[in-house]
Amino acid sequence: MALTFRFAQEADAPLILRFIRELADYEHLLDQVVADEATLRDQLFEKHRAEVLFALENGTEVGFALFFHNFSTFLGRSGLYLEDLYVRPEHREKGVGRALFHQLAAIAAERGCGRLEWWCLNWNTPSIGFYKSLGAEAMEDWTVYRLSGKALSDLEQPEA
């Protein structure tokens, strides 16, 4: 298998959205996808909020990783946060996911990042096993919290 990698370009917005939808479908969360091509173009290529790396097999995109920089106050430097990693089902078990992680680790090293982090759904045992095979550790002492929708907009307004 001849894998190559490339960073996404603005013209890739439809392909990025297709990968996001495939991942969301796999995670049983397709109904939560509200992203569209225009939003992706704006956020990824005009505002540079995140980056997308494609894995290509024989010139065809078979997987992607969407990531951005975060910051660790304890380390005093940035890290990479992996929002999404997805390999199309027919290309799994060929080393594409591992190769994407190698590329992300190389990007993190090149940029002087102190860590590479991501979340994983608790039920996704195939991915959990894969991540552990890479040497990743679950952060058992931490719980993810989120404000969104009405809770987020309610918090925008200072209390009287």
Give catalytic residue positions. Answer: 131
Asked if 84 and 20 touch (Cβ cutoff 8 Å), the reply is yes
Question: CB within 8 A of 33, min separation 6: which ones?
Answer: 20, 21, 24
**Token code pair at residue 1:** 């298998």
Determine phi and psi for 49, rounding to 5 degrees. Answer: -80, -25
d(CA 113, CA 87): 24
CB atoms within 10 A of CB 139: 10
**Phi, psi (rounded to 5 degrees) for 149:** 55, -135
